[in-house]
Every structure is written in C-alpha cells, then in structure tokens.
Amino acid sequence: MMALALKNLWNRKTRSLLTILGIAVAIQLYVVMSGIMDSFDDDLQKQVAGMAGRLVVQQKSDAGTRFPPLDSVIEATVAEAVLTLEGVDTARSSPVLLQVVVPPPAINLPPVVMAAGVVPGREFAFTGNTALQAQLKGEHDAILGAAAAGYYGAKAGDTISVQDESFVVVAVLPETNMVTDGVLLLPLPTAQRLFLRHSLVSAVMLTATSADGAKPLAAAIESAHPKLLAATADDVARSANELLAIQRKFFAAVNSTALAVAAVVVMIVMVMAIFERKKEIGTLKAIGASTGRILCLIMTESLTLSVVGGLVALPASTVINGLILGEYHIDLSKWLQTLAVAVLLGVIASLWPAWAAQRVHPLESLTYE
C-alpha cells in the first residue's frame, strides 16, 4: 500500500507539489515565529543574568517595573541621595539618563538605539561588564552596544554623529542582550545637555556591596524615598515576562492559524482525491483490502505530503531565522520538533479523509461512467 500511496501522489505531481509548498510555508512560519520567540526568551534570561546583584531605581508608576525605564523622571539631587545610602557600591553605581535615539521596530521591544548617560568611570553601573576597560573620559566620548555599532556602522576609533554633534567611539561592547546591545553610552552631563534634561535623570542603577544585599537595599530605598521603586533582577524579569506575554500570545495565534490552515489544505486535497478515486477505493475493498489497509493508504499519502513539506521548510526557515536574528545555526532538536509537528499535522489532516475512504462501499467499484 506504501507503493500505491506514493505512486498516487506522484501521479498527481502538480497537486502534490502545491500541497507540499503550502505545508512548507506554514511550517516555515511556525519555525520562524518559534525561533523569534525563543530568542526573546533567551534575551530575557540574559537581561536577568546581567542584572544579578544590581538594582534599577526608578520613578514609581502604575505600570510597575519598567526596563528600561524610559519614561521615569528623577531629580538629580534625589538620585545623589540614593547613592549615599548604606549598602551601595558607589564606584559601580550611577544615575542614568535614558533617551530613545532610534525607536523600536515593534511595540514592547527595546529601542534600536537608546542613549544612556552615566557618570564617567562608572560605566559598569549600566553595562554590568567587568571586562570593559575603556571609559568615557572626554565630553564627546561614546561607547556603543553591539547592535548600536551595527546601526551606525562604526567600530572603536570611528566618529559618529548624534543630534548633530560628533562623538568618538572609544569602545564597542560585546553582544549581551537586546537592551545593552542597543545602547549609546555617553557622559551624563553631555546626555543631559544634548537631550535638554538638565538636573534630571531617568533612573539610578545601583550595585549592592554584597551579593545578598540587593533586596534589603531595595527596601531601604523605598522606605527612604516612597516615590521611588527599587527593582531587583527578579522584578525586571517579571516585568519583561508580562510584556512578552502579548508577543507570545500573538505568535501562538499566528502559529496555530498557520498550522490549522496547512492541515485544512491537506485535508481538502485528500478529500478531493478520495471523491475522485471512489471507484479505485471501492475496487480495493472488493478485492479484499481491509479497512485498516485503506486507512493506512490515506494516512501514508497525508503523512508523505506533510513530512516532505516539513523537510522543505527546515532549510528555508533556518535561512530566514538567520536573516532575522543575525545568526545561522542548525538546531537538531528544533528540526526534530519541526518534523514532529509535520507528522502531527499529517495525522490530523488525514482523519476525516480516512474516515470518508473507509466508508466507500465495495459496490462503488461497479459504477460506470
């Protein structure tokens, strides 16, 4: 019956190829969407890991913890007062002014380029990068995140223009997470002047003096300054998860719809094939093919279409994911998962056609056109 199934598909090449193409597009969409969502989740993990032991003090709002806290406004004097609290590692803490330079491509994503003004010499407060040797020594020095450097097409030593002023790139950070990768790090006074935010900052990024000192420090800050919110890494993670929840639902809806459409396409093709082949199926039953054999025939055809569609989708989705996310790699576990989805799609799509086929009466073999 396997040979009969494959020959039936081959005999209707155009229909089979178009069906495979439809399935491949749906599965490729599923893989790409899943890949993008996985990259968001990975990035969130990296953000949280980078925040370990640190706090983001921001203006309290109904929106709760935000990261980055772009719409938070704190008086510079209040920020300085927070830095003097016991438990703060001053050398690795800084008030930070945040400003969107290039907006994000979609809602709830970090900006493509975000300026962050920090106290020169305390760049660690924002970057969390202990290996960073370069510092913002001059008024027009800048440190770029990996993605920001890509946006400006700049490397260390190059000059870039921001708000019609020239800045020298003293360092480019390694790839970290979506927030840090898009940063344009400037001296705080320069950022305040450039973006007309004199005596104001967006947040205070603090490092606690001890590994387990972040939570008590957060409590002390909120007690001393009731209008401020001191967010730990866990708070940032929770907030980011809530923002990503919308994306996750959107992607889940797109994925489900794409796969459902693919299943319906296969189902339609298979049901059409059964209507066209009623006499053939009736003959098979007349010569003694059992219901199980007929079901096997239909499911084999359906599975062949969906698995081949899945196999076609794999390299295509790897290339598309690479173009979107900037890295190409073959993840075998993802490929196996994709093939499993293709198999499941084939099984589901074959259920109704298989039921219709097994209902064909042997007397159908005797219908004459």
CA-CA distance, 7 to 308, in Å (whole number)?
15
Report if residue 285 touches other proteins, rule: CB under 8 A: yes
Give just the sign of the alpha carbon dihedral 58, 62, 63, 64: positive
Report if residue 4 touches other proteins, rule: CB under 8 A: yes
Per CB under 8 A, the list member of 220, 261, 286, 339 interacting with other proteins is 286
Report if residue 287 touches other proteins, rule: CB under 8 A: yes
Q: How far is the CB of 266 from other proteins (least distance, A)?
A: 20
Within 68-87, the residues that bind other proteins by CB under 8 A are: none
Peptide bond just before 315 cis, omega within 30 deg: no
Q: How far is the CB of 281 from other proteins (least distance, A)?
A: 10
* Side chain identity, residue 145: G
Both structure tokens of 292: 């199980």
Per CB under 8 A, the list member of 250, 256, 291, 324 interacting with other proteins is 291
Q: Which residues of 16-36 are buried (b: 16+ CB within 10 A; e: fewer)?
A: beebbebbbbbbbbbbbbbbe
Per CB under 8 A, the list member of 91, 290, 315, 340 interacting with other proteins is 290
Q: How far is the CB of 102 from other proteins (least distance, A)?
A: 59
Report if residue 166 touches other proteins, rule: CB under 8 A: no
How many Cβ atoms from other residues are within 10 Å of residue 256's Cβ?
11
Per CB under 8 A, the list member of 50, 87, 150, 362 interacting with other proteins is 362
Per CB under 8 A, the list member of 90, 135, 209, 365 interacting with other proteins is 365
Report if residue 356 touches other proteins, rule: CB under 8 A: no
Residues that bind other proteins (rule: CB under 8 A) add up to a total of 24
> Residue 56: beta bridge partners?
205, 231
Which stretch, 22-30, 149-157, 268-276, 360-368, contacts other proteins (CB under 8 A)? 360-368
> Residue 335: beta bridge partners?
none
Within 293-332, the residues that bind other proteins by CB under 8 A are: 293
Per CB under 8 A, the list member of 8, 177, 202, 318 interacting with other proteins is 8
Q: Report helix, strand and coil shares of the chain as percent, to nearest 5.
A: 55, 15, 25
Angle at 201 between CA 124 and CA 235, to 5 degrees: 65
Instruction: Provide the mask over 262-281, with x wherever binding to other proteins is found by CB under 8 A and - wherever it is not.
Output: -----------------xx-
Q: Angle, nearest 10°, between helix axes 332-358 and 291-325?
A: 150
Give residue for tokens 């159908």: 364
Q: How far is the CB of 258 from other proteins (least distance, A)?
A: 31
Both structure tokens of 92: 């690795």
| Residues 115/184, Cβ–Cβ less than 8 Å | yes
Query: Which stretches of the chain bind other proteins, using CB under 8 A?
Result: 1, 3-4, 7-8, 10-11, 279-280, 283-291, 293, 362-363, 365-366, 368
